Amino acid sequence: MQPWKIKLDADKNVFYLFIDSKRLTKEVDPYARQTMITQGTFLEYVRVAGEKLGYKTDITLFPDGEYDEQNLEENMKNKPVAKIVLTKVEPQDSSLYNYLFLPDTNRGAYKAQKLTPENIKKLLATNTDSDLTFNIFQDEENNKRLGNYAIKGARIESGIHRINQESANIFRTNEYQKNKYRYGFSVEGQGTTGVMKHVMQGLITLFPSMNNEKVSADLYVKSTQTAVDNTPAYAMIISKGNSRSEQVKSSMLYSKLVLTAHSLGLVMQPLSQVLEEYPEMKEQYTKIHKDYVPNGGTIQMLLRIGQPTQEYPNSMRRDIMDLIVK
């Protein structure tokens, strides 16, 4: 959804990041936790780009205070997620900058090779926040358990009509729609690439029933099963509490991890379904927290990690000028 709004300050070196409350996905994300996750990814990429371009980036989360949860959407309009102050410095040779332009997510099959001790060390070193914990799992027991959670989450989500409808509303059938809207889902996200992508776009455009709710649900579960069957390692980002600041910081860490993974020849995919907070997912949400944070804490992200077997296309991106508001 890319729910970002940028408000420029009178000081040209200052701008503010707001949530675009018109881009909430209320069925799948009723408490806007995943929406907050998107804000952190934006901020971390700004920080990395700033280093390369010669700007020190000072980020203050919720400079006007965190949201009143009873008036969430109104607060999103009036309270910034972050204040960003840029200070001109000498450009740095950022080792991560070039990876900004690679896809964040690879939903394909991964190679069977486990992560090396050196890879694990470098990934774990990305976390410097005492409020967050980052864990990597690649033993057989945890891989099986976490894979089962991913499958159960996909099956539950794909069986809920209102959530399927929410997704269908932002499915972009062909290149024309992708270029028009520049956000949402497409056939590439379902794992279709190459010539077959264009064939499927044409067929779905002419015969929309080919991508009906049952077909989409079945394909989604099947692709999740394929992903799970070809995953050598999983990871979790866990916060001590579940404040809005912790949610944003979790996703800033996630973006560091994505870029670091690319530098190591690795890719990632979030498996967020089992962490979603609508009623039908409550049982699985409770179980995974009991299994992995029995003493308290919130699992903000569940990820799969590995070496890719194929390149994955970049997703649609909105024009930066569409994000700027007065």
Task: Give how far Cα 22 sits from Cα of 2, 19, 163, Å.
Answer: 11, 9, 17
Full-model pTM: 0.87
Q: What is the largest CA-CA distance in the chain?
A: 56
Q: How many CA atoms lie within 13 A of 60 on its CB side?
A: 12
Which alpha helices (H) appear in 56-98, and where do they start and end? Answer: 72-78
Q: Where are the domains of the chain?
A: 4-98, 103-306
Does residue 192 have a pLDDT over 60?
A: no
Q: Give residue-wise pLDDT tens across range 46-72.
A: 999 999 999 999 999 999 999 999 999
Instruction: Please tell me the predicted confidence (pLDDT) of residue 209.
Output: 54
Rounded CA separation 247/34 (Å): 8
Q: How confident is the model at residue 198 (pLDDT cuts 50, 70, 90)?
A: very low
CA-wise closest residue to 4 among 65, 71, 84: 84
Helices (H) and strands (E) in the chain, counts: 10, 9
Q: Give residue-wise pLDDT tens across range 157-167.
A: 999 999 888 87
Exposure b/e, 162-172, CB count within 10 A at least 16 = b:
ebbeebeeebb
Q: Which of 62-66, 101-105, 273-277, 317-321 has the lowest mean pLDDT?
A: 317-321
Write down the architecture of domain 103-306 according to CATH. Answer: 3-Layer(aba) Sandwich (3.40)
CA-wise closest residue to 191 among 167, 165, 227: 227
